[in-house]
Amino acid sequence: MALTLITGGTVVGPTGRSRADVLLDGEQVAALLRPGDTSLGVDLASVAQTVIDATGKYVIPGGVDPHTHMELPFGGTAASDTFETGTRAAAWGGTTTIVDFAVQRTGERVQDSLAAWFAKAEGNCAVDYGFHQILGGVDDDSLRAMDELVAEGITSFKLFMAYPGVFYSDDGQILRAMQKAATNGSLVMMHAENGIAIDVLVRQALDRGETAPSFHGTTRPWETEEEATHRAIMLARLAGAPLYVVHMSAKQAVATLARARDDGWNVFGETCPQYLYLSLEEQLGAPGFEGAKWVCSTPLRSRAEKHQDELWRYLRTGDLSVVSTDHCPFCFKEQKELGLGDFSKIPNGIGGVEHRLDLVYQGVVDGRISLERWVELCCTTPARMFGLGDRKGVLTPGADADVVVYDPAGHTSIGYPTDGNGKTHHMNMDHSAWEGFEIDGHVDVVISRGKVLVSGGEYHGHPGHGRYLRRSHSAYLR
Ligand code: URP
Ligand code: ZN
Ligand code: ZN
């Protein structure tokens, strides 16, 4: 088996940091050693096939992004990253595991939809991948299917309180799915927005001639997120099930979640970099049709109302547990443009799978979170939350050899320059939602199950390296 030795770095985990050399044996972490440790009786640097000098750098577990949508069909088009392009971009950014969403459309068998997602991903992924299952129609068949899927390693199910007529489940359907989750130990992930109320507001806005992208935000006000979050928590309580609320953007919704947690309820929240940095005023409200680049749901929130600062605070204090990307890219040309003259036809989603580690690291630089919390939010907790904690998100002997060497003295410019210098990201998009972002830090080396995917600014990965991950139950279940 090939040995890889990473020397001289500072190993950072969720509970602390220390100077250590990291020894990888084939696809697994073999040992963390005190620098210069000779107790093994061999000079590891001379026997290892690969030696990586991490002096002055952080050595962290590979990133785990538990919320991506490669090839998601949405609004008459499909997310522009395939599993091949999207996982390659993830690798460039230090994410070595994704959990994507298989989508059951109303009327389709859950098992058939899952088979279609396996077929899309198999042989194409650069990094390891698992699936959640979106339930587009809760009925007796799909409830039975939940048990079957849990046995196959799909231990989480996403439901939508938004998008009536597309993905929407009513309260009775949600309650039944949660009752099933309470019996089979799976985790319900909720898109918490009151879609029925939103549809009324959207219709009224369009009737007033309000067609620009910014009206996507004003017709999905924080009340619709907080109300749905509250309802989801109550339904979970009724069912005796845990709950994970995805892509939270409204500070009021997180406050509701935090109160339930204070009362001892098993509820968790996730946010995404776009909600930490971008806003209704600056991005969604950009002149003309430009704001379409930032149409996503839940929407970007007002900076004047300080949602972004509050979300950082909730990340720091622990009421938000995970940062995912909700990577759902659409090109501007011909995809976002489907909503020219009608914001409600703009496909919802932002691409960012490549930038999560960098963007959240900027929170360390800015003094908003600690180095350890960065690792916990981006690597350890997502792995544990979704039943991968024994293999992913940690650097302990026996864990998968997924490692990122991160250079705090490096620099990352994010964007999609149109000045002839070519693009600076690897996602299949014709623009960047993160244009002009400058990061004090850089992903230097990325290793997935012992294989170096990125180093020295070069890509060494290939489609098919990534393997399917059969997940266990969440480590956060009671
Ligand atoms: O706008 C978003 N979030 N698009 C992806 C689908 C979803 O609801 O997560
Ligand atoms: Zn959603
Ligand atoms: Zn999503």
Nearest protein CA to atom 8 of ligand 1, as residue: 297
- In the sheet that holds 63-68, the strands lie side by side as 63-68, 95-103, 128-134, 156-160, 187-191, 243-245, 267-271, 322-323
| Ligand with smallest separation from the Cα of 220 | 1
Write the DSSP assignment of 296-336 as a string of letters: -SSPP--TTTTHHHHHHHHHHHTSS-EE---B----TTTTG
Q: Which residue minimizes the CA distance to atom 9 of ligand 1?
A: 326
Q: Which residue has the tokens 């691409």?
A: 351
Predicted confidence (pLDDT) per residue in 305-324, tens digit = 999 999 999 999 999 999 99
Mutate to test the pocket of ligand 1, among 326, 344, 346 (most ligand atoms within 8 A of CB): 326
Which residues are CB-neighbours of 316 under 8 A, at least 6 positions away?
A: 368, 369, 373
Closest CA to 449 of 16, 28, 113: 28
Ligand that comes closest to the CA of residue 190: 2
Residues 71, 353: contact at Cβ < 8 Å?
A: no
Please compute Rg for the chain using Cα positions.
22
Whether the CB-CB separation of 28 and 450 falls below 8 Å is answered with yes
Which stretches within 341-454 are classed as H helix? 356-365, 371-375, 381-385
- Name which residue sits closest to atom 2 of ligand 1, judged by CA: 349
- Phi and psi at residue 62, to the nearest 5°: -55, 145
Q: Which pair of structure tokens corresponds to residue 271?
A: 């946010």
Residue 42's pLDDT is 86
Compute φ and ψ for 378, nearest 5 degrees. Answer: -100, -15
How far apart (Å, rounded) are the C-alpha atoms in residues 265 and 239? 12
For the CA of 65, the nearest ligand: 3
Tell me the pLDDT tens digit for each residue of 112-153: 999 999 999 999 999 999 999 999 989 999 999 999 999 999
pLDDT in tens, 420-473: 556 679 999 999 999 989 999 999 999 999 999 999 999 999 999 999 999 999
Beta partners for residue 455, in sequence order: 458
Per-residue confidence at 419, pLDDT binned at 50, 70, 90?
Answer: low
Tell me, what's the pLDDT at 258?
Answer: 98
Mutational test site, ligand 1, from 133, 159, 348, max ligand atoms within 8 Å of CB: 348
For ligand 1, atom 4, the nearest C-alpha belongs to 349
226: Cβ contacts below 8 Å, ≥ 6 apart: 250, 252, 253, 255, 256
Under a CB-based contact definition with an 8 Å cutoff, are residues 135 and 169 in contact? yes
* Residues whose beta carbon lies within 6 Å of some atom of ligand 1: 69, 191, 247, 296-297, 326, 328, 348-349
Say how far apart CA 468 and CA 118 lie, in whole Å.
9
372 dihedral zone (left: phi>0; alpha: psi -120 to 50; beta): alpha
Tokens of 316: 């720091």
* Each residue's pLDDT tens digit, 322-333: 999 999 999 999
Q: Are 392 and 402 in contact (CB under 8 A)?
A: yes
Domains 3-60+395-459 and 62-386 share a fold: no
pLDDT at 1 over 80: no
Burial string for 211-248 (b: 16+ CB within 10 Å, else e) reads: bbbbbbbbbbbbebbbbbbbbbbebbbebebbbbbbbb
- How much distance in Å is there from the Cα of 324 to the middle of ligand 2? 12
- Say what the pLDDT of residue 415 is: 83
Nearest CA to ligand 1 atom 5: 349
Report the alpha-carbon distance of residue 275 to residue 297 in Å, rounded: 11
- The alpha carbon of 380 and the centre of ligand 1 are apart by a number of angstroms equal to 23
- Closest-lying ligand 1 atom to the alpha carbon of residue 295: 1
In the prediction, which pLDDT does 52 show? Answer: 98
- Cβ atoms of residues 353 and 326 within 8 Å: no
**Residue 105: predicted pLDDT:** 84
Q: Residues within 5 Å of ion ligand 2 by Cβ?
A: 191
- pLDDT tens track for 248-264: 999 999 999 999 999 99
Evaluate if pTM is beyond 0.95. Answer: yes
Q: What is the pLDDT of residues 216-275, one digit of tens each?
A: 999 999 999 999 999 999 999 999 999 999 999 999 999 999 999 999 999 999 999 999
Question: Using one digit for the tens of pLDDT, what is the confidence trace for 4-35?
Answer: 999 999 999 999 999 999 999 999 999 999 98
CATH class of 3-60+395-459: mainly beta
The tens digit of pLDDT for each residue in 65-79 reads 999 999 999 989 999
Q: Over the chain, what is the mean pLDDT? A: 96
Query: CA dihedral in degrees (243, 352, 72, 140; nearest 10)?
Result: -10
Cite the DSSP H helix spans in 208-306. 214-218, 222-239, 251-262, 273-277
CB of 59 within 8 A of CB of 375? Answer: no
For residue range 153-179, list pLDDT tens digits in order: 999 999 999 999 999 999 999 999 999
Residue whose token pair is 């990061």: 439
Q: Which helix (H) or strand (E) holds 26?
A: none
Write out the two tokens for 276.
């930490």
Would you list the domain boundaries of the chain?
3-60+395-459, 62-386
Which ligand places an atom closest to the C-alpha of 245?
Answer: 2
Q: Give the model's pLDDT for residue 422.
A: 61
d(CA 157, CA 173): 13
pLDDT at position 478 is 78
pLDDT confidence of residue 417: 65
- Cα–Cα nearest to 100, from 143, 137, 71, 142: 71
Distance CA 283, CA 402 (A): 35
d(CA 356, CA 315): 14
Determine what percent of the chain is predicted with pLDDT higher than 90: 93
Distance between Cα 162 and ligand 2 center (Å): 8
What whole-number distance in Å separates Cα of residue 302 and Cα of residue 141? 42
What pLDDT shows up at residue 288?
96
| Cα dihedral 291/294/297/300 (nearest 10) | -80
Whether 302 shows a pLDDT value over 60: the answer reads yes
pLDDT surpasses 80 at 46: yes
Nearest residue (CA) to ligand 1, atom 3? 297
pLDDT of residue 107: 84
Q: Compute the distance between CA of residue 236 and CA of residue 256 in angstroms, rounded to an integer.
A: 14
Query: What's the whole-number mean pLDDT along residues 77-103?
Result: 98
**What homologous superfamily does CATH list for 62-386?**
Metal-dependent hydrolases (3.20.20.140)
